[in-house]
Amino acid sequence: MEIAKERTVKSMASLVEINSKYRVLDIGSGYGGTARFLAKKYGCHVTCLNISKKQNLVNQERNEQQKLSSLIDVYEGSFEDLPFPNSSFDIVWSQDAINFSH
């Protein structure tokens, strides 16, 4: 993960309580760097939602390489139409992607 992005993730994470029991939804997750950071640091389960098939495939490959597939799920879809039931997550996370909302 790039240094500036890692600093941003650490700064944002310091603003909320996260532990291994938490379920985090990362909307607009891109290549999944944030999800892997959170899963490694806190042991929490992260669900990635991203519209790009290519980014999702890379995300899944990296999760497998780093043996994090059990903590990270990757879904294709739009954060403007969430495919999850209400109250499924403790934290909804977004960096930058929300800027592209219509």
Mean pLDDT of the chain: 92
- Highest mean pLDDT (candidates 10-14, 72-76, 84-88): 72-76
Domain ranges of the chain: 3-96
Distance separating alpha carbons of residues 91 and 64, to the nearest angstrom:
23
14-46: pLDDT as tens digits: 899 999 999 999 999 999 999 999 999 999 999
Pairing of strands 72-76, 45-50: parallel
Per CATH, the number for 3-96 is 3.40.50.150
Distance separating alpha carbons of residues 20 and 7, to the nearest angstrom:
21
pLDDT at residue 1 in the model: 56
62-78: pLDDT as tens digits: 999 999 999 999 999 99
